[in-house]
Structure 1
Amino acid sequence: MAGYPNVNAANKYARDVVGGRIPACKWVRFACKRHLDDLVKSKKRTGKWRFDKDEAEKVCRFAQLMPHAKGKWAAKAELIVLEPWQKFILCSIFGWLSKKTGQRRFREVYCEVPRKNGKSVLAAVIGLYMWCADGEFGAEVYCGATTEKQAMEVFRPAKQMLTRTKKLVKAIGAEIMARNLSIPRDESRFEPVIGDPGDGSSPSCAVVDEYHEHPTPALYETMMTGMGARDQPLMFAITTAGFNLAGPCYIHRSQVCDMLNAAAGIGDQHNEEQFGIIYTIDDDDDWESPTALRKANPNFGVSVSEEYLLRAQANARRYPSRQNAFKTKHLNIWVSAAHAWLNMSDWAACGDTSLNIEDFYGKPCWMGVDLASKSDITAVALVFRDKVESPEGSGKYKDRWTVFCRSYLPEGAVERASHNQKAYEGWVHDGALLTTDGDETDFDVVRDDIHDLAELFDVKELVYDKWRATQLAHQLLKDGANAVEFGGGYHIMNMPMREVEAALLSGRFRHDGDPVLTWMAGNIVTREHKGCLVPMKADEGKTNMRKIDGMIAILMAMSRALLADAPQEDTVSEHLEKHGIRTL
């Protein structure tokens, strides 16, 4: 094979990204730096991996023999021309081999790319290559998704590419059916799969498209477990960002981030057989800037036009209801709901993992208790208030809020969870989610914990939801707690919600980075009633995947804290306006 133009372009791309000549977020920089570092390591006798230029070049040349399947390029019958970033991904996946076995290094691949950047074309090419050009006898390639329409987004362009490449069809003896591509001589097949495929398959390659839409990891895990009989299978997940921070895709993404951090010398969770790349912007980037568009979209000016992105960005700036959709689909920023209440970047900025609840022993606080049904999450929150100088100075001081939350779930509910089980299990393991024995929440455990907390802190009031906590409140009253029933109309919840918004923006809000509370904060969407915010779950009345109990407990406690120093003659709105909180 004379020359390696694609490999050279891929390596140049990696050098340009690391050198800052191509704008890229840290995850892309880390992926490129890992590749360059491994090239150096591969020259040493102790290195486990080697980079095979022939294998890397082969897959790129195969890709560029395929015709475009849609758009203006398909209309002109043009062949695919890989961009440098696509060459980097393909060369990385197929070029790295084990020195010991000669088999491919990477078995799991995670690519997160914004919309309109040609990710389905890349997935279709990989599926076709693994089906007919990888040398796997009886190859089984599946493109899986949650719906038939989504599964066909990869299968359809693959089928169209094959149909328009007559020489390839003849050479391999392919048979092309509506929902199946096959090679009769060795029974290789390529077909779409919808939902949970069940056991029995032996995939050599599985393409999981738009993984963020999967409510459970069932399809992914079934495909992975079915690959045991294959020598060098490939699990290829390609997706945009999404909204569910407790879903399998975000959990998988977090593992990829840990791996990339470790490869860059930050942390130790380095999975050497996993490849990941995430095109997005960095935390300190301005999402409203034109630079952000180029940074997050690797096919900027190619398959996605500058004009299109600038128009979408302008609409998101003009209409707040469109911001989260724009951020997830065009900047690959994960948010927790399509119309979320809080900006999760602001929430993250107010997280402080060095906060220690023991440092608050003896200090005054307000406690909120949100009791769920016996098989759901119960939350107990502590809200502390102190004064900090306002940003404008001049000796003015404003309230600063520090919150901690305990979340409880019965063990049986963790085992039965249909959507959030993996997240629950991880949080239980890390101590972020507390469990009680059995299939129902043991409220005696909650009561005992509340009693213990009351001994450690100066609890001014214990605020409870009148709809569920009446019995517990009566018990706590007998214990000597100053229990206060929460209620009084929609405007009561508006008060703390407006204050949380303002406090987050000005840095007057602190939490300890509790992942369960962060998930819940992102799950709140709002509707307005007579100018007042009303909190709701993002999936209200639907799957009930998202929980908001911890944030409700915090808001209940804050509502009482806000009114604690109000003179008797003040009305609610007068008192709040004195504190700079917008009301009707």
Structure 2
Amino acid sequence: MTTTYPTWVCDGSPIPDPFGHGERAVRFLKALKHPKSTARGRAFQLDPWQERIVRAIYGPRHDDGTRIVRTVVMLLPRGNRKTSLAAALALLHTIGPERVPGGEVISAAADRKQARLAFAEALGIAREHKKIAGVVNVQDYRNRLTYPNAGSFYEAISADAGTQHGRTPAFVLADELHAWPKRDLWDVLRSGLPKTRGSLLIVATTAGRGQDNIAHEIVDYARKVARGDFDDPATLPILFETAPDADWRDESVWHRANPGLAHGYPDIEGLRQLAREAENRPGDREAFRQLHLNVWLDHSTSPFVDMPVYDEGAAPVDLAELEGAPCWLGVDLSSTTDLTAIVAAWRDGDDGYAVHPWFFCPADNLRARADRDGVPYPAWAEAGHITPTPGNVVDFRAVEATIRDLCERFDVREIAFDPHLARNMLNNLAEDGYPAVEMRQGWVTMAPAIKELERAIVGRRFRHGGHPVLRWNFANIAVETDKAGNKSFHKGKSRDRIDGAVAAAMAVARAAAGDDGRSVYLYPTARPDGLLVF
């Protein structure tokens, strides 16, 4: 396959059901009632596209009758009633024919409020049906519904509710996974599923932002299964998403991403109003694309460059091959408690650049920092993408030692610093004869540097090797433009880190000036201590 779109949901193609479990599940769901249903007798509305999803989950079986599908990744825009469907499936496993004796049925969400929504949906369905209401016990304050006849129960929990170790779930709904602040609860529930034979995991989410989170990891794996890159019949990808370059104003694009539109939901007039408002409000436009068209966005709402274009520069950078080539370093020391970056730049062809970064962060409370910033610092550290220095602040001695090592290894022509936090390091290196220069991070110096960096990325002449921390930094950039068209970088949110992107702009600017030893943009002046100031 070359597309991830689930054409099978609407094409009427056969769905295997050798043991009748798909039909059994459909019959159970159609027998339910929903308090908001407009159908006769308030019957639960299971539209054809939803019915086919249910059949695809429960119908296909191994020869011994066990279910083939163990993980469902359902990417649906807002308003397509994924919570209602997921809540009905939770009841299918709590009181319906998919229940197991003593089975734990869990829906998990980012916070208590979202968890309550899923539980309230299931509770409303249960209470609307007199027979069901008479055989279940409800502990509303615990978001828990129990079916004593089987000893099974359904409980809604949240990622901010503390430890959940010891769970042995038979069914897990991971609701709006894109909003989960960290992966701890995911790891606990995911590791508990194999304890129960025939367990099922359903991920039901809209698109998110960024690539450094558990939701993107899971959805991207599902994409690879959908394309046929991986042979994994136990994973069922149901990905109603839109290509980033699709025309977000085109209503045919809306219908393709929202299977419920053919049945009256979400409200088409509501979408039209949102689209009209988004015409002149970039933030609203990005939210519309993300939440209603399932376009997976990067962190920034005003990005420096399109990240798919940036990603085209992911060809490997072989440092061993560059040891004899002229090299320029950009250093952003930032705050001692935040991320510090060194980026090396080499000329790559006539007008391109190859870069490689070195990142540093405090080692203390590394996991807490990961939770704060929403990125996997511990995994990055283990992979060598970032260096944690001892203590609760970045050890600038380790940074300086790395710079000295790089100067020994490479033909470093300049080491560019913003002097704001680098005075001691600058002086130490200059006194020892290293080519340290000041490069202040104001409009005069950074606007031309950013322009050159943008030219290289957009021209597909910026090779970065796909370094994950550097990519995260670039994805975080929010751009500010003055009346003259000059651009500057700033953080989209206070927790975002852009240090590597700033250091990359500095290094590229100095590499651009490296042909004849002077910059076409920047005019240095000499200080009495021998430092050049740009």
Q: Could you state the TM-score of these two structures normalised by the residue count of structure 1?
A: 0.75
1:406 to 341, 352, 358: 358
Q: Report the alpha carbon displacement of residue 219 of structure 1 after superposing the two structures with TM.
A: 2.0
The answer to whether residue 485 in structure 2 is matched with residue 535 in structure 1 is: no
Code of the aligned partner of 2:161: D
Where does residue 101 of structure 2 map in the other structure?
137
Instruction: Trace 1:116-195 onto structure 2 (pairs within 5 A).
Output: 116-133=79-96, 134-170=98-134, 173-176=135-138, 178=140, 179-194=143-158, 195=160
Instruction: Trace 1:503-514 onto structure 2 (pairs within 5 A).
Output: 503-514=456-467
Where does residue 496 of structure 1 map in the other structure?
449
Q: Is the 8 A contact 1:283 1:345 kept in 2?
A: no
CA–CA distance in structure 1, aligned partners of residues 250 and 321 of structure 2: 41
1:54 to 1, 5, 20: 20
The answer to whether residue 38 in structure 2 is matched with residue 97 in structure 1 is: no
Where does residue 27 of structure 1 map in the other structure?
4
Where does residue 22 of structure 1 map in the other structure?
none
1:467 to 417, 420, 432: 420
CA–CA distance in structure 1, aligned partners of residues 60 and 99 of structure 2: 17
Q: Report the alpha carbon displacement of residue 150 of structure 1 after superposing the two structures with TM.
A: 0.9
Instruction: Trace 1:305-344 onto structure 2 (pairs within 5 A).
Output: 305-337=267-299, 339-344=301-306
1:352 to 296, 307, 314: 314
- Check 1:61–1:491 CA distance in 2 against 1; reply closer, same or farther (3 A cut): farther
SS of residue in 2 equivalent to 1:97: coil
1:114 to 63, 77, 81: 77
- Check 1:415–1:192 CA distance in 2 against 1; reply closer, same or farther (3 A cut): closer
SS of residue in 1 equivalent to 2:4: helix
Code of the aligned partner of 1:538: G
CA–CA distance in structure 1, aligned partners of residues 62 and 337 of structure 2: 48
Q: Is the 8 A contact 2:17 2:23 kept in 1?
A: no
SS of residue in 1 equivalent to 2:261: coil
The answer to whether residue 242 in structure 2 is matched with residue 281 in structure 1 is: yes
Q: Report the alpha carbon displacement of residue 53 of structure 1 after superposing the two structures with TM.
A: 5.0
Q: Is the 8 A contact 1:251 1:423 kept in 2?
A: no
Q: Report the alpha carbon displacement of residue 501 of structure 1 after superposing the two structures with TM.
A: 4.2
SS of residue in 2 equivalent to 1:142: strand
CA–CA distance in structure 2, aligned partners of residues 311 and 502 of structure 1: 36
The answer to whether residue 502 in structure 2 is matched with residue 552 in structure 1 is: yes
CA–CA distance in structure 2, aligned partners of residues 530 and 467 of structure 1: 26
Code of the aligned partner of 1:537: K
CA–CA distance in structure 2, aligned partners of residues 31 and 342 of structure 1: 38
Code of the aligned partner of 1:321: G
Deviation track 1:518-552 (CA, whole Å, cap 9, x = no partner) reads: 11111223456777644333330xxx3x4322112
Q: Report the alpha carbon displacement of residue 368 of structure 1 after superposing the two structures with TM.
A: 0.6
CA–CA distance in structure 1, aligned partners of residues 443 and 200 of structure 2: 52
CA–CA distance in structure 2, aligned partners of residues 337 and 360 of structure 1: 32
Q: Is the 8 A contact 1:109 1:275 kept in 2?
A: yes
Q: Is the 8 A contact 1:490 1:534 kept in 2?
A: yes
Q: Report the alpha carbon displacement of residue 131 of structure 1 after superposing the two structures with TM.
A: 0.9
Q: Report the alpha carbon displacement of residue 225 of structure 1 after superposing the two structures with TM.
A: 3.8
CA–CA distance in structure 2, aligned partners of residues 560 and 539 of structure 1: 28
Q: Report the alpha carbon displacement of residue 401 of structure 1 after superposing the two structures with TM.
A: 4.3
CA–CA distance in structure 2, aligned partners of residues 495 and 405 of structure 1: 21
Q: Report the alpha carbon displacement of residue 362 of structure 1 after superposing the two structures with TM.
A: 4.0
Q: Report the alpha carbon displacement of residue 553 of structure 1 after superposing the two structures with TM.
A: 0.8
Code of the aligned partner of 2:313: G
CA–CA distance in structure 2, aligned partners of residues 183 and 570 of structure 1: 76
Q: Report the alpha carbon displacement of residue 27 of structure 1 after superposing the two structures with TM.
A: 2.1
SS of residue in 2 equivalent to 1:120: helix
Deviation track 1:231-278 (CA, whole Å, cap 9, x = no partner) reads: 2222222111112432222233333334445xx1x3x5x554333332
Q: Is the 8 A contact 1:181 1:191 kept in 2?
A: yes
Q: Is the 8 A contact 1:355 1:511 kept in 2?
A: yes
Q: Is the 8 A contact 2:76 2:205 kept in 1?
A: yes
Q: Report the alpha carbon displacement of residue 411 of structure 1 after superposing the two structures with TM.
A: 5.6
Q: Is the 8 A contact 1:281 1:331 kept in 2?
A: yes
Code of the aligned partner of 1:62: F
- Check 1:228–1:113 CA distance in 2 against 1; reply closer, same or farther (3 A cut): same
SS of residue in 1 equivalent to 2:67: coil
Code of the aligned partner of 1:468: L
Q: Is the 8 A contact 1:415 1:421 kept in 2?
A: no
- Check 1:131–1:385 CA distance in 2 against 1; reply closer, same or farther (3 A cut): same
- Check 1:291–1:479 CA distance in 2 against 1; reply closer, same or farther (3 A cut): farther
Instruction: Trace 1:471-490 onto structure 2 (pairs within 5 A).
Output: 471-487=424-440, 489-490=442-443
CA–CA distance in structure 2, aligned partners of residues 155 and 127 of structure 1: 10
- Check 1:209–1:415 CA distance in 2 against 1; reply closer, same or farther (3 A cut): closer
Q: Is the 8 A contact 1:324 1:338 kept in 2?
A: no
Instruction: Trace 1:217-228 onto structure 2 (pairs within 5 A).
Output: 217-227=183-193
Percent identity between the aligned chains? 27
CA–CA distance in structure 2, aligned partners of residues 164 and 92 of structure 1: 27
Instruction: Trace 1:425-464 onto structure 2 (pairs within 5 A).
Output: 425-434=378-387, 443=396, 445-455=398-408, 457-464=410-417
Q: Is the 8 A contact 1:31 1:276 kept in 2?
A: no
CA–CA distance in structure 2, aligned partners of residues 421 and 314 of structure 1: 32
The answer to whether residue 241 in structure 2 is matched with residue 249 in structure 1 is: no
The answer to whether residue 472 in structure 2 is matched with residue 519 in structure 1 is: yes
2:161 to 180, 183, 196: 196
Code of the aligned partner of 1:331: L
Where does residue 295 of structure 1 map in the other structure?
256
Q: Is the 8 A contact 1:181 1:189 kept in 2?
A: yes
Q: Is the 8 A contact 1:31 1:260 kept in 2?
A: no
SS of residue in 2 equivalent to 1:181: strand
SS of residue in 2 equivalent to 1:163: helix
Q: Report the alpha carbon displacement of residue 336 of structure 1 after superposing the two structures with TM.
A: 2.9
Q: Report the alpha carbon displacement of residue 301 of structure 1 after superposing the two structures with TM.
A: 3.3
Code of the aligned partner of 1:379: A
Q: Report the alpha carbon displacement of residue 167 of structure 1 after superposing the two structures with TM.
A: 3.5
SS of residue in 2 equivalent to 1:58: helix
Aligned length: 514
Code of the aligned partner of 2:491: K
- Check 1:139–1:285 CA distance in 2 against 1; reply closer, same or farther (3 A cut): same
